[in-house]
């Protein structure tokens, strides 16, 4: 269950809550890749005190990223092998096309007692399992950048060696501390990427356009931005607090007969707003599926 403030979601408590038989050690997390997502997850975990900074190791090839990590008080190194030696959970957070070389470099160090968690878009469990020693548990997670503020939406799928009682518990402890988590069959992770993995970008774009609309209608930019962001935040809060109500019902309550909102809704429909958003989700989901065979050229 998601608790927006992340309270009482420390891993040992999760272990007790979900399965009284599971006794979990404090997490030692090793990130391979210290970029934007590592930072978002890590800041969220440190903020919620799910791990101590001394129990976190991060490797990156960029010195500038290692500096950022040292600034967070965690152990930072250019050597991924040191990270794997220390961690109980290895969190793979490099770009998808870098995954094979990064895992080959540490292959001989990975033990069956460790869990590999990959957040890399489009990289299948089978490919990950082929890159680690036999029997090692692997979980694929698709989180999103709101990890940073404890409001992520993450979905995960368990690999063939990962168990519900143990490995799902660990993943829930990590990603549940920084937002909502759901378990899905792996085949749905491309769709998840289209909705929530990439989703924050569409929402930021929408807020930007909403603010621009305000400026177009005469508002000063700072006021337009504040109102646009608050409107998205307040609407999301209402949708969460009325989860049994259809989203169209919430919309209809704003649309007074003959009023301003229905005029705007008509303009949005005339410009295929919903079809455009659905098309964007499909484009991201298709790109996620395609990344298995066509990696990024960049
Ligand atoms: N950015 C997002 O919103 C989301 C990203 N993801 C996934 O997370 C992964 C990371 O994405 P970002 O953090 O956005 O990318 P990023 O480019 O910010 O971070 C990747 C980091 O890996 C480092 N790196 C490159 N080669 C390395 C190596 N051999 N060893 C160690 N580090 C190395 C880079 O220097 C960089 O700092 C990707 O696979 C992406 O698909 C998943 C969900 C959301
Ligand atoms: O754009 C990307 O490929 C990554 C995966 C999900 C969000 N960002």
CATH number assigned to the domain comprising residue 72: 3.40.50.720
Q: Identify the domain boundary among 159, 189, 219.
A: 189
Question: Distance (Å, rounded) from C-alpha 108 to C-alpha 136?
Answer: 12
| Judgement on whether residues 181 and 244 belong to the same structural domain of the protein | no
Residues 167 and 246 in one domain: no
Q: How far is the CA of 140 from the centre of ligand 2 (A)?
A: 14
pLDDT at 198 over 50: yes
Q: Is 33 annotated for ligand binding?
A: yes
Name the pLDDT band for 22 (thresholds 50, 70, 90). Answer: very low
Of all protein residues, the one whose alpha carbon is nearest to atom 7 of ligand 2 is 198
The CA distances from residue 54 to 46, 58, 94, 108, 284, in Å, are 11, 11, 22, 25, 37
DSSP 50: S
Judge whether 5 lies within some domain.
no
Is residue 139 domain-shared with residue 17, that is, in the same domain? yes
Work out the pLDDT band at 298, boundaries 50, 70, 90.
low
Domain count, the chain: 2
pLDDT at 142 over 90: yes
Domain shared by 150 and 24, yes or no: yes
- 254, part of any domain: yes
Cβ-based neighbour number of residue 181 at 10 Å: 22
Whether residue 258 is found in the same domain as residue 185:
no
Domain-located, residue 194: no
pLDDT tens per residue, range 145-158: 999 999 999 999 99
Evaluate if residue 179 carries a pLDDT over 90. Answer: yes
> Does 152 share its domain with 214?
no
Q: What is the mean pLDDT of the chain?
A: 92
Confidence band of 139 (pLDDT split at 50, 70, 90): very high
Query: Where a domain ends, among 189, 216, 243?
Result: 189
Task: Say if residue 164 is exposed, middle or buried (CB neighbours under 10 Å; 0-12, 13-18, 19+).
Answer: exposed
What pLDDT, on the 0 to 100 scale, is given for residue 6?
37
User: Is 90 exceeded by the pLDDT of residue 93?
Assistant: yes
Q: For residue 95, give the ligand 1 atom closest to its CA.
A: 39
- With respect to residue 16, please indicate whether it lies within any of the assigned structural domains: yes
Whether the CB-CB separation of 84 and 110 falls below 8 Å is answered with yes
Residues 98-111 have pLDDT tens digits of: 999 999 999 999 99
Q: Is the same domain home to 275 and 217? A: yes
Distance of CA 282 to the CA centre of its chain: 18
Q: How confident is the model at residue 271 (pLDDT cuts 50, 70, 90)?
A: very high
| pLDDT value for 292 | 74
Q: What percent of the chain has pLDDT over 90?
A: 88
pLDDT category of residue 294 using cuts at 50, 70 and 90: confident
- Among 18-27, 174-183, 194-203, the range scoring the smallest mean pLDDT is 18-27
155 and 213 share a domain? Answer: no
As a whole number of angstroms, the distance between CA 276 and CA 50 comes to 39
**Do 181 and 211 share a domain, yes or no?**
no
Same domain, 51 and 107: yes
Range of the domain at 88: 11-189
Is the CB of residue 116 less than 8 Å from the CB of residue 93?
no
Q: Is residue 297 part of a domain?
A: no
> How distant, in Å, are the alpha carbons of 174, 262, 265, 281, 291 from that of 258?
49, 7, 12, 32, 47
Query: pLDDT per residue over 30-83, tens digit each?
Result: 999 999 999 999 999 999 999 999 999 999 999 999 999 999 999 999 999 999
Per DSSP, the three-state class of 245 is coil
Q: Do 158 and 50 belong together in one domain?
A: yes
Co-location of 174 and 56 in the same domain = yes
Could you identify the atom of ligand 2 that is nearest to the CA of residue 145? 7
Residue nearest to ligand 2 atom 1, measured at CA: 198
Q: What is the per-residue pLDDT across 249-265, written as a single tens digit (0 to 9) for each? A: 999 999 999 999 999 99
122 labelled as ligand-binding?
Answer: no
How many angstroms separate the first and last alpha carbons of the chain? 38
Ligand 1 lined by 288 (C-beta under 6 Å):
no
- Which of 189, 212, 241 finishes a domain? 189
Give the CATH number, domain containing residue 219.
1.10.3730.10
Residue 153, helix vs strand vs coil = strand
Residue list, ligand 2 pocket, CB within 6 Å: 121, 193, 197-198
- Is the separation of the CB atoms in 50 and 110 below 8 Å? no
Q: Per the domain annotation, does 54 fall within a domain?
A: yes
Q: Is residue 2 part of a domain?
A: no
Please check whether residue 89 lies inside any domain of the structure. Answer: yes
Cβ-contact 60, 34 below 8 angstroms: yes
Tell me the pLDDT band of 24, cut-offs 50, 70 and 90: low
């Amino acid at each position: 269950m998601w608790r927006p403030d992340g309270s009482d979601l420390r891993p040992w408590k999760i272990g007790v809550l979900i399965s009284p038989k599971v006794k979990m050690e404090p997490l030692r997390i090793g990130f391979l890749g210290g970029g934007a997502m590592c930072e978002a997850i890590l800041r969220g975990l440190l903020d919620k005190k799910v791990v101590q900074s001394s129990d976190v190791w991060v490797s990156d090839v960029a010195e500038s990223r290692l500096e950022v990590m040292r600034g967070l008080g965690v152990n930072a190194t250019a050597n991924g092998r040191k990270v794997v030696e220390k961690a109980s959970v290895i969190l793979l957070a490099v770009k998808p096309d870098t995954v094979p070389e990064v895992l080959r470099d540490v292959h001989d160090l990975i033990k069956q007692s460790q869990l590999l968690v990959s957040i890399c878009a489009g990289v299948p469990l089978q490919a990950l399992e082929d890159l680690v020693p036999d029997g090692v548990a692997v979980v694929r997670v698709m989180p999103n950048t709101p990890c940073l503020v404890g409001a992520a939406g993450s979905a995960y799928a368990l690999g063939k060696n990962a168990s519900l009682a143990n490995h799902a518990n660990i993943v829930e402890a990590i990603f549940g501390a920084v937002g909502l988590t759901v378990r899905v069959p792996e085949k749905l992770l491309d769709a998840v990427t289209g909705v929530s993995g990439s989703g924050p970008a569409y929402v930021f774009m929408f807020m930007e356009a909403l603010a621009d609309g305000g400026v177009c209608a005469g508002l000063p930019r700072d006021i337009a931005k504040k109102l646009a962001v608050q409107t998205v935040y307040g609407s999301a809060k209402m949708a969460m607090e009325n989860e049994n109500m259809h989203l169209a019902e919430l919309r209809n309550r704003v649309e007074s007969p003959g009023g301003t909102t229905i005029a705007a809704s008509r303009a949005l429909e005339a410009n295929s707003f919903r079809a455009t958003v659905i098309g964007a989700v499909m484009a991201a989901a298709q790109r996620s599926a395609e990344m298995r065979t066509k990696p990024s050229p960049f």
